[in-house]
Chains A and B, each alone.
Chain A
Amino acid sequence: MMTNLKVVLQIDEIKVAIQSVRNHHKSFLTNFFPETFKHGIWIKKNELALIMLSETYFLIYSDGGFKRLFYISSGLSELAESLDILKNKYPGEKYVTDLVGKGDMLNDVCSVFLKTGFTLYSSLTRMSSTKYPALKTIDPSVDFADISEVLLVDSLFKQYFDKYTEQLPLIEELKSWIEKKQMLVYRSGKEIGGFLIFDKTNSTAYLRYWFVHPNFRDLKIGSKLINRFFIENKDAIRILFWVIETNENAIKRYKHYGFHTEELRDLVLTYNIPLNER
């Protein structure tokens, strides 16, 4: 059990932490990028905690058997020192952390974590496009999800998604996407053969999750879902999504559709999570 953690009660506490780090007038390193809705729920449920160790603030979210670790630090050596303190202060804790960035800075931060004993679990790259393939007609089996389907979708996430690489959405997030008509499902009778979830603004459509049930493979459900996604976001200037870097077939397919890989990468690292638990 982690003691001496302060539960975050308001988002302003994180801003104060950021300010405190920046007051050192050194670098500013972070992997915490505020998502108002999701992090608001974490805070409301008292599930996000904060601890300051040396010149680094760690934000810690309990995520079903492990802790998701975020940092706000004044530099690489400071981060390294703070990670050592964290490791020794709470031996036995299991962490997953996402390092998001580009180039040398990302590699340098990753090195710090690896030297502390973290292991690279997976890596993702972001892909985007500003032009889209020709749109086909809407398949009637693809429609917006209904609120009555939220628990079914949630169970599919828990059963088929990698909880370390993917940040599994909260029920509240799923409900919100359904209400905003940002969750598409392929229905086959009462079953869901696949789903696609996205965020959208006027300019950007962000494909968050895209899933085809193993029992429904080879029915081109994935194509039908993505086609509807393109139709619903035909006015977007940019479409983007994350893809696992080793999934060469998928990357090749997306490039065929006009997407290109960006420099932005997401390295997922774990600490103290045995191979048989992954």
Chain B
Amino acid sequence: MKDKITTILKEIRPEFDFTENVNFIDEGMLDSFDVVTLVTTLDKEYHISIDGLDIVPDNFSSIDSIRALLKKNGVNDES
């Protein structure tokens, strides 16, 4: 799952290294438009519908937080 998330992020913002241990939002690597794009992409990729109340910066600030959000939506770690 981690590799897939990184690939998706790289497609949205190819100029950044999402393997770094930083907060993607605070660092300006993802802006609010990118977050909306990411939500739509994750919904399509994993056939889920991320809860609107979960569309908050904290849930997209790192690979781990995105992974946690996907698991919350029933996505298997091997996906």
Show the binding face of A for B, using Cβ within 8 Å: 15-23, 25, 28, 30, 33-35, 100, 128, 130, 200-204, 206, 237-238, 264
Name the CB-closest residue of B to A264. B33
Q: Nearest chain B CB to A183's CB is how many angstroms away?
A: 18
Q: At the interface, yes or no: B75 with Cβ under 8 Å from chain A? A: no
A sample of 25 cross-chain residue pairs with beta-carbon separation below 8 angstroms, ordered by A number, consists of A16-B52, A16-B53, A18-B53, A19-B51, A21-B52, A22-B50, A22-B52, A28-B43, A33-B31, A33-B32, A33-B33, A33-B36, A34-B32, A100-B33, A200-B28, A201-B26, A201-B28, A202-B26, A202-B27, A202-B28, A203-B29, A206-B28, A237-B15, A237-B16, A238-B16
B33 and A22 form a contact (CB under 8 A):
no
* Residue on B nearest A11 in the bound complex, by CB: B56
List A contacts of B55 (CB < 8 A). 15, 18
Please list the residues of chain B having a beta carbon within 8 angstroms of any beta carbon in chain A: 15-16, 22, 26-29, 31-33, 36, 39-40, 43, 49-53, 55-56
Output the least CB separation between A88 and chain B (Å).
28
For A202, the chain B residues whose CB sits under 8 A away are 22, 26-28
Contact between A204 and B29 (Cβ–Cβ < 8 Å)?
yes
Asked if A30 meets B36 with Cβ closer than 8 Å, knowing A22-B51, A130-B15, the reply is: yes
CA distance A143 to B43 in the complex (A): 46
Say how far B18's CB is from chain A's closest CB, in angstroms.
11
User: How many Å lie between the Cα of A25 and that of B53 in the bound state?
Assistant: 15
* CB atoms of A19 and B53 under 8 A apart: yes
Contacts of A130 in B (CB 8 A): 15
Contact A28 B40 (CB under 8 A): yes
Given A19-B51, A22-B51, A237-B16, residue A203 in contact with residue B27 (CB < 8 A): yes
**Interfacial chain A residues near B16, Cβ < 8 Å:** 203, 237-238
Docked pose: A75 CA to B40 CA in angstroms: 13
How far is B12's CA from A238's CA once the two chains are assembled, in angstroms? 14
Q: How far is the CB of B12 from chain A (nearest CB, A)?
A: 11
Residues of A within 8 A of B22 (CB): 202
Please report the C-alpha to C-alpha distance between residue A203 and residue B56 in the assembled complex, in whole angstroms: 20
Chain B residues closer than 8 Å to A201, beta-carbon distance: 26-28
Known: A22-B49, A200-B28, A203-B16. 16 other contacts (CB 8 A): A15-B52, A15-B56, A18-B52, A19-B52, A21-B52, A28-B36, A28-B39, A33-B32, A201-B26, A201-B27, A201-B28, A203-B29, A204-B28, A204-B29, A204-B31, A206-B28
Smallest CB gap from B17: residue in A:
A237
Q: Which residues of B contact A203 (CB under 8 A)?
A: 16, 27-29
